[in-house]
Amino acid sequence: MNFPARFKNRINEKLKQCQKLVQSLDERQVDESNTVRCITQILEIIFGYDPYGDITSEFAIKKTFNTAYCDLAIKGKSGKVRIMLEAKGITIDLNEKHLKQVVDYGADTGTKWIILTNLKTWKLYKLTDARPVDKELICEFNFMDLNSKNEKDLENLFIISKEGEEQDSLEEYYSQKQIKNKYMIGALLASEDVYYVIRRNIKRLFDDVKVSMEEIENIIKNEIVLKEVLNSEEAVQTRKEIAKANKKLEKIDMKEKPQRKEVKQELVKKDDPDVLSASEISIPE
């Protein structure tokens, strides 16, 4: 991932300084309000947000019988809330109850991205469009372990940052994550193209061994790839994505076939000027 110079310079200059601040607050065991105050500072100093224009504290969420308040709401370039952030005190271990709280905030406001943090641990989730709403962990990091020279650490910071928001990095990162997962690899492994390659290589290496496509399929599906990877809802959705991608490729191939044919004809004519293309051949009546 390419990081803007402004972002990299800010991380190089300010990360260690902020880590010392977090360590100091941890040693003093500050309460939640001071934790939130420091998180707001980090959103400005590390992530590049304007604390007055991009961040709203105690964001009000109207419910049927009452109003709830999310600790911090981060606006995107459209002016709408992009990320809901729920903070817990630096001494508190994050748990499922805390996660459900911020998931509900995201669902109630139609916000796809949520962060749960106690200043040291940061967890970024994406909410699904399914009903009931579910969540998927996108990334997690310990702020004290971050290294400004580590590519993965920079990526985790960048996708949340102001510069990352300007490049739609969260959506891009999520798309990449969806492709590089066990369901996608499992679906590709359990395909006839892979069975054929394996059978061909076995025959090439061991010409006295006979193996059928069905035997290879059975081994892959029942002994190598977990059933969860092939039969879960995620796996079904992944196969749909693969089918969609294949259809897209087929359409591209159909458009390119006439072009490839024309190029081939031009190459033939260049090699042999006396050869006529199909359009130049006149059929006598």
For CA atoms 47, 53, 57, 60, the dihedral sign is negative
10 and 131 inside one domain = yes
142 and 212 inside one domain = no
233-242 confidence digits (pLDDT tens): 777 777 777 7
Residue 171 vs residues 10, 101, 126, 167, 178: alpha-carbon distances, Å: 23, 23, 10, 9, 10
Tell me which residue range forms the domain holding 104: 5-166
54 and 88 inside one domain = yes
Confidence of residue 261 (pLDDT cuts 50, 70, 90): low
User: Is 284 among the domain residues?
Assistant: no
| Residue that is last in its domain, among 166, 198, 224 | 166
User: Is 151 among the domain residues?
Assistant: yes
Note whether 73 and 81 are within 8 A (CB).
yes
143 and 25 inside one domain = yes
Number of domains into which the chain is organized: 2
% residues pLDDT > 90 (the chain): 54
154 and 251 inside one domain = no
User: Is 177 among the domain residues?
Assistant: no
Between CA 96 and CA 104, with CA 98 as vertex, the angle to 5 degrees is: 100
107-153 confidence digits (pLDDT tens): 999 999 999 999 999 999 999 876 788 898 999 999 999 999 999 99
144 and 269 inside one domain = no
149 and 39 inside one domain = yes
User: Is 175 among the domain residues?
Assistant: no
User: Is 279 among the domain residues?
Assistant: no
Q: Which residues pair with 123 in a beta bridge?
A: 116, 140
User: Is 72 among the domain residues?
Assistant: yes
71 and 161 inside one domain = yes
| Residue that is last in its domain, among 166, 201, 233 | 166
**Listing from the earlier edge strand, what are the strands of the sheet with 67-75?**
55-62, 67-75, 81-87, 113-117, 121-127, 135-142
User: Is 43 among the domain residues?
Assistant: yes
121 and 71 inside one domain = yes
134 and 37 inside one domain = yes
User: Is 24 among the domain residues?
Assistant: yes
For the chain, the average pLDDT equals 85
